[in-house]
């Protein structure tokens, strides 16, 4: 069977994403439907499994160039565990946005 490959992220670590992903990937029937590469921080992923009360198998990859799906085990890429990753540059925040953000934080505090 030729399965679709899906890249997943945990979303906001303070949200429910880590637990939802853990519950989803803990189901063998779900894992059998697609080749999954999970791109995340390993500590956040482990916390999600702990909160959800589940575990799932995964195979760690050191590079996104070495993706080899041999069974239903999700691949895991710890982006924080690889300091050589170069992320695209982010545009600087404009002074107007920075000022508005600072005022809003003070207002909410």
Angle at the Cα of 15 (from 28 to 64), degrees rounded to 5? 55
Question: What is the pTM assigned to this prediction?
Answer: 0.69
Angle at the Cα of 31 (from 49 to 19), degrees rounded to 5? 20
How many domains in the chain?
Answer: 1
- Phi, psi for residue 35 in degrees, rounded to 5: -85, 120
pLDDT digits (tens, 9 = 90+) for 1-20: 678 888 999 888 778 889 99
User: Which structural domain range is residue 75 located in?
Assistant: 4-108
pLDDT value for 92:
53
What is the phi-psi region of residue 53: left when phi exceeds 0, alpha when psi lies from -120 to 50, beta otherwise?
A: left
Question: What is the spatial distance between Cα 74 and Cα 36, in angstroms, rounded to a whole number?
Answer: 5
pLDDT band at 32 (very low <50, low <70, confident <90, very high): very high
pLDDT value for 85:
47
């Amino acid at each position: 069977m030729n399965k679709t490959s899906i890249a997943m992220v945990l979303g906001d670590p303070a949200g429910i994403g880590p637990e939802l992903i853990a519950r989803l990937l803990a189901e063998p029937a779900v894992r059998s439907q697609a080749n999954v590469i999970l791109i995340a921080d390993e500590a956040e992923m482990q916390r999600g499994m702990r909160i959800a009360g589940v575990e799932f198998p995964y195979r760690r990859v050191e590079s996104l160039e070495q993706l080899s799906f041999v069974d239903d085990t999700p691949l895991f890429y710890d982006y924080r565990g690889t300091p050589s990753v170069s992320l695209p540059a982010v545009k600087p925040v404009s002074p107007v946005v920075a000022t508005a953000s600072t005022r809003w934080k003070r207002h909410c505090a």
